[in-house]
Structure 1
Amino acid sequence: MEITSIVALIIAAALLFYIVGIYNRLVSLKNRNENAFAQIEVQLKRRHDLIPNLVETARGYLKHERETLEAVTRARNIAINDLKAAASNPASASAIDNLGRAESALTGALGRFNAVMEAYPDLKADQNMMALNEELSSTENKVAFARQAFNDCVTSYNIYKQRFPPVLLAGFFGHRADGRLLEFADSETIQAAPRIEF
């Protein structure tokens, strides 16, 4: 009788430790996910902060292109609001989707801005504009790397939650919804400027 009790106690302890391990792994993956989003947030804020300087530098040259400048500013403001919403709840699929759409729209507006800028050689040669474009390009690369790291974390988190046996316990521990990948529209397509040949 004692051996049966000891074996049952050992099995119960092993099961408890296994469940605690699943809980700790879920918490760890969730925190990595949130940290990865925080890295995207830093880079997107930097991108958003550069845009007013870009617009202000171009304003003197692009007097007849007010619509283009306003479109960039509008897209930036929408992206800032959607970033705040996503930052408050990175696990929200709709917030991540809205952020992806807003950032794609901003990228499109910047692509149109760059296409217009091509018609103004003095603006392209302006030292401030060149420095801002270089900084923006560097920030875009950092955003891409941060987004890839975030998507990798989300994928790992989702895979772990969907595997057996964690799938049985994830909902019970508050890890119900699967994370959403942050996707932007293809920047190559958005930023493609029309070619003019003489």
Structure 2
Amino acid sequence: MNPWVVALIIVLVVIVLLILWGIATYNTLVSLRNRVANGWSQIDVQLKQRSDLVPNLVQTVKGYASHESSVFEEVARARAGATQAAAASNADPGDRQAMVQRIQAENKLGQSLVNLMATAEAYPELKANQNFLDLQAQLKELEQKIAYARQFYNDVAQKFNIKIESVPSNIIAGLFNFQQVQFFQADEASRQAPQVNFGG
């Protein structure tokens, strides 16, 4: 067989393999990007449910601790900030700055809820109120769901970011403008789910 024909066949096989590798890598990146978006939407659902729970919780506590206005104002401001940040990040899911602001706003809301629950400690009648107990249980469950959703999101985000940075898949990522995603990390103050100690 003619050596030029052999060389041409080898070159064609290499080109076909490179194209197939490029397609497979692109598809993997798209799949990971979609899993990241799905993970974030799961967090978003839980955060919205927590935000919807806040007014009922505040009203219940306010009924027993009406003079603790600074705590209620802090929660109201934090909830408003989280709602505004959610609207901005949902308007443009690719905006990294909006996502960072959303994470910070949600962490601030989490901290204000910790402060609200700590305020409730001083009111034994409130701690015995069934409505408060139900709301507290719902909040605790939501915080656990948020933690689980955040872990899932961060795991997928890590895989996606590694794929974008790794050689040779970074070539395809660069060609098609895949961008790294932000991790959702809780700040130190909001790492714990708000809890009230009923042990006295």
Superposition TM-score, scaled by structure 2 size: 0.88
Residue 122 of structure 1 pairs with residue 133 of structure 2: no
Q: 2: CA distance between counterparts of 1:156 and 1:70? A: 40
Aligned partners of 1:183 and 1:95: how far apart in 2?
15
Q: Which runs of 5+ in 1 are unaligned?
A: 194-198
Q: Which residue of 2 aligns with 1:6?
A: 9
Q: CA deviation at 1:160?
A: 0.4
Q: Counterpart in 1 of 2:167? A: 164
Partner residue in 2 for 1:184: 186
Map 1:1-198 to 2 at 5 A. Answer: 1-175=4-178, 177-186=179-188, 187=190
Paired residues of 2:143 and 2:193 also in contact (CA < 8 A): no
Q: Report the aligned-residue RMSD.
A: 2.1
- 1:33-80 per-residue CA deviation (whole Å, 9 max, x = no partner) reads 100000000110110011011112222212211221121111011111
Once the two structures are TM-superposed, the CA of residue 188 in structure 1 deviates from its matched residue by: 5.4
Paired residue type of 1:108: Q
- Tell me if structure 2 keeps the 8 A contact 1:29–1:157: yes
Higher alpha-carbon deviation: 84-93 or 143-152 = 84-93
The alpha carbon displacement at 1:131 in A equals 0.1
Give the number of aligned pairs.
193
Shift of the alpha carbon at 1:95? 1.9
Indicate the percent of aligned positions where both proteins have the same amino acid. 36
Distance in 2 (alpha carbons) for counterparts of 1:29 and 1:188: 26
Kept in 2, the 8 Å contact 1:40–1:147? The answer is: yes
Name the amino acid aligned to 1:183: Q
Q: Deviations over 1:169-192 (max 9, x none)?
A: 2121120x3211111112357969
List 4+ stretches of structure 1 deviating above 4 A.
188-193
1:196 corresponds to: none
For residues 33 and 162 of structure 2, the distance between their equivalents in structure 1, rounded to whole angstroms, comes to: 12
Over 3 Å counting, the alpha-carbon distance change for 1:190 and 1:127 in structure 2 is: closer
Q: With structure 1 as the length reference, what TM-score do the two structures score?
A: 0.89
How far off its partner does 1:144 sit?
A: 0.4
Greater alpha carbon shift after TM alignment, 23-32 vs 50-59: 50-59
Matched residues in 1 for 2:23 and 2:96: separation? 27
For the 8 Å contact 1:37–1:90, the answer to whether it is kept is no
SS in 2 for 1:48: helix
Contact 1:72/1:109 (CA < 8 Å) preserved in 2?
yes
Distance 1:24 1:163 in 2: 16
Contact 2:82 2:109 in 1 (8 A): yes
Opposite residue 156 of structure 1, the aligned amino acid is: K
